[in-house]
Structure formats: structure tokens, C-alpha cells
Amino acid sequence: MPKESFEQFVKRQKEKLDKAEKMVEGIKERWKDKIEEVEMVEKSVKELKKLWEENEEKAKKKKYPNETFSFLLSLPLPEVPPFLLEKISNKFLKEFDWKKFKERVCFESDLGMFLSAFLRKNVESYISSQKQKGVKEENIKPIKVHLDVKKLPFSLDYLGYRNPQKLHLSVEGNLRVYTGSNMEGGKIIVKGDCKDHTGWQIKGGEIIVRGDCRDYTAERMKKGEITVEGDCGAYTAWGMKGGTLIVKGEVIFFSKSAFSPDNKGTIIWKNTKIWEDGNWTKEGKEMKEKGKIPIG
């Protein structure tokens, strides 16, 4: 093996030094990005807290849910990179001053809407930026946000209100009422139970509840799909007009209006399609005649 010359030795050492310097610069850059990310999360959570404290009384005075939501959307909610939405949302909930609002009635509704407005505003901004880059809507990747609500002292209402296209919301824990109401698209997965009015007036997208729902599930449902892997309560599918409702467990009773000719949707109960496009299916009709479908 030929002996290395002095020039070759110097060149090799210089290459090692250059490589080491690049590694150091790379580490510095990663730390810089990490610090900037932490600072943005802290700043955004602080802004959300301030906006809530300044406007929650005004939101409380709004008469209807759509009025409340429109008001919350009009606030200067922080706009952040999509990949930070999950961290900011969870940190906001974790650091929320729950004791201060312990005695207030129904603040959970406004808070659930407030968080939903923050998510919607940012996802809409993301979709708009992607379209400006020439990406077709069907090719825009969804934003995934996982929320952990298991340790919260209150269950949230109206979470996922007017959930937009491209927002996939996954919730670990139980929610209260009106989950995914007026939903327009995307997906909501609840790894827990929901109470009344799950999927109220849903217009698109998909809701999956791993646990149970209570009364009025799929109330006034128009489009989309709702799957309840557990049981449902009374008045299930009240005023349903379209979409697909799948209930894998028991139902206290279905609303009579669920089986009106006006309901052009589909109802699947215990793996059997019982209603479709304004009519009983063959299997559904047989079960109804035998009194096996609870209707109230």
C-alpha cells in the first residue's frame, strides 16, 4: 500500500474538519428550529388564553350556535404551521384555568367551539395556501390532530363543530354533547363515549365513536357517515334526511322520523341494513314486523 503524502494527509484532515463543522452547523440549525417551535407554541397558547378571557363573556351572550361560532371565527386567532396545531391545542387545554370557570354554566360549549374555530381557521388557511401552489383539493394531505381530553375536569361540548375538509380529529377520552355538529368534512374519531346530539346536522365527513352515544344521535343528519361501535340512546336518527348511520350495539329506540320517506339515507344496525333511500330493506321490514326494531 503506497505511503500517504503530506499533502494527502492535510487534505484528508481538512475534509474531516469540514465534515465535523457541517455536523455542528446541522445540530445548531436543528436546535434553532426546536427553540423557535417552542417559542411559537408558547406564544400561540398565550394568545389563545388572552382571546378567550377577553371574549368568552361576549360569546356566552350569543343566542344560537352558528352565531357563537361566527363570532369566534372573527377573532384574531393565531395562525400557525399545521404541524403545531396538535401541540398548541393540547397545551391550551392542559393549562386552561378550569377552577376559574368551575361555577359557570355551559362554558364547555363555548370552549369546545373556541378550539374548533381555532382549528378550522388554520386548516382553511392551509388548504388555501396549498391551492395557491397549484395543488388540487383532492391531492391536499389532511391535517391530523390528536387531542387527549382524558384528564380534563370537564367534558367538552361542540368539539368538531363545522369540522372542515382535511381536518382529521382524533380524541382520546369522553366528550359531551353536539360532537361534530354541522360537520362539513374531514374525520372525527372519539376513543371514548359521547353524550347527546352526536353528529347533529352533519353535512359531510365521517364520525367514528369507539364507545357509546346517548340520545339524538345523527339528529337531522344530511350527508356523511356516523359509526357508533357501542350503544345509542333514545330518538336515534331523529329527523335524519341522508347520509349513513351505522350502530353496532343496542339502541334504546329509533325515532319514528328516522323511517320517514323523507329519509333518503341508510341505516345499518347490528350489521344489518334496515333502511335505505326512503324505504325499509327486505331484512329491515322483516325485523320490524317481528317487533325486533325499537321505535319510539
β-partners of residue 167 are 143
- Full-model pTM: 0.87
Under 8 Å between Cβ of 218 and 245:
yes
Residue 272's pLDDT is what?
Answer: 98
β-partners of residue 293 are none
126 located within any domain: yes
- Each residue's pLDDT, cut to its tens digit, for the chain (296 residues) gives 456 666 766 666 666 666 766 665 555 555 555 678 889 999 999 999 999 989 988 888 888 999 999 999 999 999 999 999 999 999 999 998 877 666 555 555 688 999 999 999 999 999 999 999 999 999 999 999 999 999 988 889 999 999 999 999 999 999 999 999 999 999 999 999 999 999 999 999 999 999 999 999 999 999 999 999 999 999 999 999 999 999 999 999 999 999 999 999 999 999 999 999 999 999 999 999 999 999 99
75 located within any domain: yes
Whole-Å CA distances, 255 to 85, 137, 167: 38, 37, 31
137 located within any domain: yes
β-partners of residue 143 are 167
Per the structure, how many domains does the chain have? 1
122 located within any domain: yes
135 located within any domain: yes
Residue 1's pLDDT is what?
Answer: 47
Residue 180's pLDDT is what?
Answer: 97
Residue 4's pLDDT is what?
Answer: 63
Which single residue is written with the C-alpha cell 325486533? Answer: 292
188 located within any domain: no
Under 8 Å between Cβ of 156 and 169:
no
Residue 142's pLDDT is what?
Answer: 96
66 located within any domain: yes
- The amino acid at 145: V
45 located within any domain: yes
- Using CA of residue 121, residue 123, residue 126, residue 128, what is the dihedral sign? negative
Residue 101's pLDDT is what?
Answer: 64
What are the tens digits of pLDDT across the range 179-191? 999 999 999 999 9
| Cα–Cα distance for residue pair 173/156, rounded to 1 Å | 10
What are the tens digits of pLDDT across the range 251-286? 999 999 999 999 999 999 999 999 999 999 999 999
Residue 70's pLDDT is what?
Answer: 95
Which residue segment(s) compose the domain that 72 sits in?
8-142
